Chain A
């Protein structure tokens, strides 16, 4: 615990506060754009469905299919203001924050923090001082991992706080309806999604840790972590590979809507839009995959770090 305390004290630095502020600002801008989009979509939605003839759709089964799809889309557009208002309700905004931080924006923020907090020990030549105070390298590694993970949770907290404060204001400005859920229900949604995000953040933190012990530098860690995350997404888009990649484990475990289904007025994540629309592996498989990634990544990082010469 002393070592974790020391690591957290080192995280109290301008860069960490800057990343948290950037995360909060990102969430804020997204909420502002999302609530405005929902209002514009609802205002621009037609009161009645146009006829098939007006849309030059041939009569018969084709017309029926088009009408069904158009009705569904209209329902979605009309429901958006209430949905966005629900996402921005202070109690429920935690689910939105967890989804955003447990996806690409959070992964990139974690890459930055991993570079500064872990890779920076090599670049700043402070690793030797740290290890001469504490010779048990595995404990140093675990303290680094846990502190980075806690910093990730801090990002969710910053985003949630920004949404909780700005959500009702934005809903008022854009004339969104009041949320149709109780505070308890909102908190329950947020709690579940934040709890799921904890495992995803642990996976991002392990990738950052592994990148740091391999590259032994701040810039290398940032580049390798971001590169690994983007490669995960790229591989998941390959036909057939989808269900077996860490990116789809994240989407399944977090319950992100598949593919472009995640693109709405206010996106709940920036992850599943990059994935294919193949069958997801399921939440249990997602959990198992991510848990395995965390354990295996930590074991490999420990093995590399235990044998590494600290010469910087």
Chain B
């Protein structure tokens, strides 16, 4: 099936500062795709390019099979970039009506504005002026605006900002149900625990370059570590036996082995005649894996070159 998002060598420089550096990215349909990276990594710039708000310095991007920014392609995209902004003197409902008038006619039967307001949990406050909305309510209104045209692709930048825990849980359920209906959700977020729970795949950006892309489980498993507790007298021999995995000492009676599974480590030690007291598999959370990926400069590589 065709990719919903495709970026080829996407580069953006602002007055000599490189915000995005040759990004190659493919996102397939019907999934929740997490787009991660520290502040300034180039996530929002990527989203802006996909929406045609920013022109890339080099490279190309396609959304729904059309060049980024193409009005017909945009008609099938719902977006919420950074903190959503509305006309404060209008009500929530009127804001959405104005947005609806600003583009092609809304799909489906009349009453779409009311339906998306209800779906976002704003039915009761839809006729209040937006200037009186809390940040969480504005986020919900932003989500309602993004869903207005029943898009094939949702681009969301930090959508859960300011939402209460109940709101975040509702939001998680909503995103999963959208993906279940075949809608692709492209989610940029700092809430890594949330991303881990709802995303099928993630891509990690660092300094404008793609560091990793793959299923959440794959990224986490690839960074699993094994801690071997043994007799201090066996430590030197263990380090030699585990050298292929770049093992390193971890205190007087333990050895830490990166990117290995416990069975392989136990077997290598046994075959060398070293019998450990304990072999502990440590599978990091996405947050820990994310920190490892974004802090380790050596890990930065061009994913395309690798492909």
Contacts and interface: CB of A to CB of B under 8 A. Distances in A.
Co-complex (A, B): yes
Interface of A: 2-3, 5-6, 9-10, 13-14, 124-126, 128-136, 307, 309-311
Interface residues of B, number: 33
Contacts of A132: 51-53, 74, 77, 79, 81
A13 B129 CA distance: 12
Contacts of B83: 125
Contact of A131 (B52, B73, B82, B100): B52
Given A2-B102, A134-B71, A310 B87 contact: no
B54 A309 contact: yes
Nearest to B99: A133
Contact of B84 (A5, A129, A130): A129
A154 to B, nearest CB: 17
Candidate in B77, B89, B105 with the most chain A CB atoms within 10 angstroms: B89
B71 A128 contact: no
Contacts, number: 81
Given A124-B85, A132-B53, A135-B74, 7 more contacts: A2-B103, A6-B102, A124-B87, A129-B86, A131-B51, A134-B102, A311-B53
Contact of A310 (B53, B79, B145): B53
Interface string B77-117: 10101111111111000100111111101000000000000
Contacts of A134: 71, 74, 102-103
A132 B102 CA distance: 9
Contacts of B101: 2-3, 5-6, 9
B87 A133 contact: no
Contacts of B89: 13-14
B172 interface: no
B87 A10 contact: yes
A128 B53 contact: yes
A125 B73 CA distance: 22
Nearest to B146: A132
A307 B52 CA distance: 11
30 contacts: A2-B101, A2-B103, A2-B105, A6-B98, A6-B99, A6-B102, A9-B90, A9-B97, A10-B90, A10-B98, A14-B89, A124-B85, A124-B88, A126-B85, A128-B81, A128-B85, A129-B86, A129-B145, A131-B51, A131-B52, A132-B53, A132-B74, A133-B103, A134-B74, A134-B102, A135-B70, A135-B74, A136-B71, A309-B55, A310-B53
B48 interface: yes
B42 interface: no
B141 to A, nearest CB: 11
Contacts of B102: 2-3, 6, 130, 133-134
B69 interface: yes
A10 B87 CA distance: 8
